[in-house]
């Protein structure tokens, strides 16, 4: 395999590695930690160190040795035994605040390098999404041997067709949507369900199709509130008399902007989306005579045990990360493409998001069974006769 970046040392001399989990947590993090650590310990007799709370641990020199026991029995456990952090970017680290509250940022990359050298880490396995890979990029540029592993429920990391955590989030959202179905049916209501995903609609699209939701609103297809109202009216009057609408938190109406829940000025990625579900519910309420209720799944999607598919994916990613490191790779992100595990340049993936293509096969299939994307395409074919309920 030809790596664009090579280790600056012989793979045989890699004896101590660090593992770090960065960004928002997700199901499967512990499964990856286990796979990385066990492969490193059992196959290569390495010493493995856990870096606590993502890059915060590198800045504050919080690094602890991991024993085989520490990483046993954690395959199914939610969260991360190492802790995580989605507010800390060493290149833009909030070191203080002015009297008026304005944050003061500094580049503390040198402190991270000092921690890595202090613990004599020959390589660092960085588990995270696009923000975490951005944070790892300066370490790669400074000559640290870094291997990235793609994590996020949002499934939006550039360079891989799937990130671990996504399938569990989809399963959780699907179960919630199934439950909303029965109560929507009983009360002849419209149930709007907002799901996470940042600027990408992968969770909404996939869970929406899996649950047979009637309408799926994703950031990649800006919606038309009047078209939504007309579709819902058709379904209520001529169809089954209830509707399920799944809304990605990053969705927006055509010509409008995303709804921001809060801004954290001290965070490297300060925008937190949220609130579009209620906006959509209000838009439906003012255009129809239907009772509408809103559910926001939020962090429920990030919690709990990984499903079997994520445990398998996490184990493959973890094993693959150590394998390519020991083949001489550095500065690479392990990925899956066309169902095959490989790796890409971490610097190319860092900070880049993979959105849903508007011609994605799942969108085509959903439209074919009458699912609306809040535009006029499905309306033209009529919503009343076609129930997309599975
Ligand atoms: O990236 C994962 C994610 O859960 C997004 O879907 C969501 O927008 C964001 O993190 C929420 O972040 P926080 O945990 O800071 O509220």
| Among 247, 244, 248, 233, CA closest to 180 | 244
Which residue has the least CA distance to atom 16 on ligand 1? 272
From 22, 24, 80, 266, mutation site for ligand 1 pocket: most ligand atoms within 8 A of C-beta: 24
Which architecture, in CATH terms, is 11-164+306-349? 3-Layer(aba) Sandwich (3.40)
For Cα atoms 367, 369, 371, give the angle at the middle one, nearest 5 degrees: 50
Atom of ligand 1 nearest to the CA of 301: 4
Tally of CB atoms within 10 A around 180:
22
Give me the pLDDT at residue 8, please. 61
Q: How far apart are CA 76 and CA 68, in angstroms?
A: 16
* Phi (first) and psi of residue 188, to 5 degrees: 55, 50
Give pLDDT tens digits for 231-273: 999 999 988 899 999 999 999 999 999 999 999 887 777 899 9
Instruction: Write down the domain spans for the chain.
Output: 11-164+306-349, 169-301+357-381
154 is catalytic: yes
Rounded to two decimals, the pTM is: 0.94
For Cα atoms 31, 33, 34, give the angle at the middle one, nearest 5 degrees: 65
Q: How far apart are CA 208 and CA 363, in angstroms?
A: 10
Give pLDDT tens digits for 2-33: 455 666 667 788 999 999 999 999 999 999 99
* Residue 153 to residues 278, 282, 287, Cα–Cα distance (Å): 22, 28, 33
Which architecture, in CATH terms, is 169-301+357-381? 3-Layer(aba) Sandwich (3.40)
For 74-109, give one letter per residue: b (16+ CB within 10 A) or e.
Answer: bbbbbbbbbbbbbbbbbbbbbeeeeeeeebeeeebb
Here the tokens at position 4 are 């664009």
From ligand 1's centre to the CA of 209, what distance in Å?
Answer: 22
From ligand 1's centre to the CA of 24, what distance in Å?
Answer: 6
Per-residue confidence in pLDDT tens, the chain, 390 aa: 445 566 666 778 899 999 999 999 999 999 999 999 999 999 999 999 999 999 999 999 999 999 999 999 999 999 999 999 998 999 999 889 899 888 899 999 999 999 999 999 999 999 999 999 999 999 999 999 999 999 999 999 999 999 999 999 999 999 999 999 999 999 999 999 999 999 999 999 999 999 999 999 999 999 999 999 999 999 999 888 999 999 999 999 999 999 999 998 877 778 999 999 999 999 999 999 999 999 999 999 999 999 999 999 999 999 999 999 999 999 999 999 999 999 999 999 998 999 999 999 999 999 999 999 999 886 666 555 443 332
Q: Which of 154, 156, 214, 224 is the catalytic position? A: 154
Here the tokens at position 262 are 């809060």
Does 169-301+357-381 match 11-164+306-349 at the fold level? yes
């Amino acid at each position: 395999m030809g790596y664009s970046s090579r280790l600056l040392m012989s793979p045989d001399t890699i004896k101590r590695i660090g593992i770090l989990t960065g960004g928002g947590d997700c199901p499967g993090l512990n499964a990856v930690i286990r796979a990385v650590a066990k492969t490193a310990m059992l196959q290569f007799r390495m010493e493995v160190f856990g870096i606590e709370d993502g890059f915060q641990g590198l800045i504050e020199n919080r690094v602890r040795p991991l024993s085989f026991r520490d990483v046993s029995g954690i395959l199914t456990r939610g969260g991360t035994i190492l802790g995580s952090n989605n507010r800390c970017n060493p290149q833009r680290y909030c070191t203080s605040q002015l009297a008026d509250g304005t944050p003061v940022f500094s580049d503390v990359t040198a402190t991270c390098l000092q921690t890595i050298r202090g613990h004599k880490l020959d390589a660092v396995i960085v588990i995270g999404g696009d923000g975490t890979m951005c944070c790892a990029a300066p370490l790669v540029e400074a000559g640290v041997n870094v291997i990235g592993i793609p994590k996020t429920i949002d499934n939006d990391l550039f360079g891989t067709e799937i990130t671990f955590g996504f399938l569990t989030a989809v399963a959780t959202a699907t179960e919630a949507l199934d439950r909303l179905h029965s109560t929507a049916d009983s009360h002849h209501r419209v149930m709007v369900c907002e799901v996470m995903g940042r600027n990408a609609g992968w969770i909404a699209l996939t869970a929406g199709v899996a649950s047979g939701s009637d309408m799926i609103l994703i950031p990649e297809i800006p919606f038309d509130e009047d078209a939504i109202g007309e579709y819902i009216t058709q379904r209520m009057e001529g169809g089954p008399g209830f509707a399920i609408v799944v809304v990605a938190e990053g969705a927006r109406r055509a010509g409008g902007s995303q709804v921001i829940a809060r801004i954290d000025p001290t965070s490297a990625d300060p925008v937190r989306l949220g609130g579009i579900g209620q906006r959509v519910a209000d838009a439906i309420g003012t255009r129809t005579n239907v009772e509408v209720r809103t559910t926001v799944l939020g962090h429920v999607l990030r919690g709990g045990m990984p499903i079997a598919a994520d445990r398998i994916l996490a184990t493959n990613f973890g094993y693959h990360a150590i394998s390519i490191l020991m083949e001489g790779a550095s500065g690479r992100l392990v990925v899956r493409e066309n169902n095959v595990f490989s790796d890409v340049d971490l610097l190319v993936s860092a900070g880049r998001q993979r959105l849903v293509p508007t011609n994605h096969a799942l969108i085509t299939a959903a439209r074919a069974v009458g699912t609306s994307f809040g535009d006029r395409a499905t309306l033209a074919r009529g919503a009343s006769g076609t129930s997309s309920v599975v």
